[in-house]
Every structure is written in structure tokens, then in C-alpha cells.
Structure 1
Amino acid sequence: MGKTIFITGASAGLGKATARLFHSKGWKVIATMRNPEKETELSQLDSIVLLPLDVTNSKQIRETVAKVLENHHVDVVLNNAGYGLVGPLEAFTDEQIETQIQTNLFGVIHVSRAFLSYFREKKSGTFINVTSSFGLLSFPTCSVYSASKFGVDGFSEGLAYELAQFGIQVKVVAPGGMQTDFAGRSLQGGMHDAYQKLTAKVSEGYSAEQVAAYTKAEEVAQVIFNAATDGKNQLRYVAGKDAIALYTERLESGPEAQVQKIKSQFVF
């Protein structure tokens, strides 16, 4: 019997690239997104099931997962849905902050919880949670985004300890910059006059030239596939040259030294 992966946020970018890759490897793919009726590519592929899912709707999560498990066996759950909220904290509304945490963190928690008893009873299964290099270290204008992604990383590590006794694995994939619509459709921001110099400096990292040097979504999808199939008892997979370089620097020089280095780049 072939294997099945359940993916959130599969309508574009990394989610769609991962759905295509697993499909090409002979997996059944359950691809969820807020508006599956608008999806025209994945809908043409055999062995891909499209379902509506808004990860901020805990009731819909429970109902969708229950429906899936009535009709399919699931081996891997990929918590991919998310977006970036970038800007100084003073620029954000309460709604922006709450929606960021609700989507990026609570969505992962609720989807994972919905599958727990199923994986526990069959004594197997893998959760792969997409975080970010900014879930391992932070950066100016990324305070709320990092809060959500650091939260996913900590949640994943704690859950991995809980579930090891049942043969269930939890893994984290932390990409750096990707050549997707993240810097467009999936990136939201806020502006504040007091932070103009800071935001201008940070925005240099999102220039067309910088984005062109980012890792392709297909390469990160391959890291996800490796995490799902390598059989390793490994928690974190860092993806992309920029992410690997930053995380290696943190491990080698220590978090405090890296914090001071980054801070020095943004003191005007």
C-alpha cells in the first residue's frame, strides 16, 4: 500500500511544490487550502485529493481531519500553512498580531492535535512542521513572525518528547529565503514613521536581486521529502544556504555573539 501525506497551505509556493514532489514519488497527497475550487494545477493530477481548510478555524480542522481519516490512511502530516508579518511592533494592529499567531502557531497545534489519537493508536506517523530560519534566530521587524515560528519550534520539540514512546516522529524544517510568493502575497507588513531607517535597511533583503538568490521552493520540498523518508531520528532540518549559514554561525559563535552582531548592523 502506498503512503499518504496530508498538507496544509498547498495552494501555492512551498506547499504546492511539496504536493507535486510527493505525487511524483508515488504518494497519495491530501492537499488542503482555503479555496480549493480555485486550484487548477493540482486538481488535474491523479492521487491528489483537494479539500478546503482554513487553519484558523479549529472546528473546520477537526471536521476535515475526521473526514480524511474515515476514507484514507495518513502517514505524514505536513503543517505548512503560514505567512509572514513583517514590520515594527508599533505598526501592527491587534488583529494583525492575533491572526499571525493564530495562523502560524495555533494552526499547527490544532492540526497536530486532530491527528494525535490516530497516530498513537497505530503507533506510527510523522509530523513535519515548517518553521523558518527566523524560528531559530530573529531579525529586526520580525518580532511577531519570529514569536510564531519560535513557538512552532518549541512546540515541535516538546511534542517530539511526548510522542516518542508511541513510535511517532516530529520533525521541523526551517527554510531561509525562498523564491516563492512569500515576499508578495504571503508577506504582510506595517509601517511606522519612527522606524523608517530600520525598515528601509531591512527591506534591502527583499529586493529583486536578493529574492533571485533565495532557495527554490522545489529544493526545500526535497528537504521535506528527505525528512519524511530518511528514517532518521532527527528533529531539525535547516534548508537553504542562507539559513544554514546563519544557524551554523549561531551554533559556533553562540547566540549572544550573534545577537550583538545583528544588532550592530541596525544601529543608526
Structure 2
Amino acid sequence: MKKITFYAMTLFVALVGSSVFAQTAQQNLDYAIQSAENIQQDTPAAKTAAVQLAKQIVLLNAPNAQQFYDAMFVQVNSIQNNSDDVDYFASLARTASQNAFSTASINAITAELVNLNDILIGLTFQINDALAANDNATALNLIPNVKSVLDQQYTTTTSLINEINSVATAIKTYNVCMKLVDHLGNPITYNDLHGYYAYNDANVYFYPENYGDCYSNLAPGTYTFRAYNGYFSGASATTVTLSDSLVNANGVIEVTLVYWSE
């Protein structure tokens, strides 16, 4: 009895440990997405400031240079800080993930955002200098360039969010545990089956952790779960497509096989 209890506890700890690693990686990628979304929330305000400056020049001949300057540097700081946060959380996710992945594609996009920042800073200074010299025409001609950079930052951030989501999908894993029931759906407390196995659509085979009842870190996909027959018993096969909707409160997908015995 002690041996069985120890085995069950060991299996539980192994599954919980792998689940924690997976959740930590996913959580950090979620934080990275939130940081990217902050950029998209801030960018429209910067674009509004550029449009407002154009109206002040054309309609009022009284541009508020400081207002424009302040709005652009709120955007610059948002890009810089949130891009740094994306890189930071992506790095944490890579460290925590049990499935190796590269952050290079994410880092390349955040670098592109920062490069666009440099262009925005340059344009902001040019407009500020033109307004200081009462050269409203030059300032007005530069505003479309500012709007173009802001649009690029917005669309680049969309690409960034898509890339993070792609990584999150690629490293997502599930823990799956088998449940035996009789033909009436009642749980089976004892069986003489010789273990379980599963295979996916590519006919790659998988086996439970320590030859127990649970599989850890299965990638998303469709799997057929089966049991090795006992001397006078067996179980039905079940095909399941793993998804978040199947995960129970314990963070596990439970797959039911119907047990039979002669």
C-alpha cells in the first residue's frame, strides 16, 4: 500500500511540476501580448495629436508645438518601454517552457518598432524646429510622414501580437489522464489492463508518465487513446482532439475509456 501511495504521489508531483512550467511560460507570453496591446492603445492618441497640429496650422495659424511634442514623446516612451517588456516576458517564457523555442522572431519585430521610434523622434524634432522658426509650411508637410510612421507602428504591433500568439500555440501542451468506466459509466476501481498508449494523426506513439495513467506535455492535436488488454479484459479506444475547453479545474484533460471484462 505504501508503495502504491508513493507512486501516486510521485506521479502527481511530476504532473503538477510540468503543468506549472507550462502555465508560467503561457502566462509570460500573455504578459508580452498585454504589453504589445498597450502600444496599440496609445498610438491613436499620438495620431490624433498629429491631426490636431495640422488643424492648428491650417485653420488657426496657431500651432501648439509643445502639445504636439509632448504627445509624440508619450508615444516614443510607450514604444520603448512596452517593447522592452515584450522582450523581457518572451525571454522568461523561453526559460520556463519545457518545449524549446526561439524569441528571435519576436525580438526582430520589437527592434523594428524601436527603429520606427527613431524615425518618429527625428520627425518630431524637425517639426519642432520648423515651428520655432515660424516655418509652418515645412511643419505641415512633415505631418503626413509622422502619421505614416504611427500607422506602421500600429500594424507592426499587430504582427508582433500575431507572432507571440503563434509561439504560444506552438509551445502549448496538455496533461491527459485516463479514466476507466463500465458500460453504465460507473468508475472502475480495479483492472488488470497492461497499461495505456496513444498515437496521433501522424502515427507517432506516446506513453503515460512512468507507465501510469497520465500523459504529460502532449502537444495540441488529435490523439487516439487505447489500453493494452489484460488477460480477460480490455477497454474501448477513444479519439480526442486536445483543446483548452477540455481542461478541467485541476488543469488536466480526462479521457474516458469503457472497460470490459470476461
TM-score by length of 2: 0.24
Higher-helix-fraction structure: 2
* Bigger Rg over Cα: 2
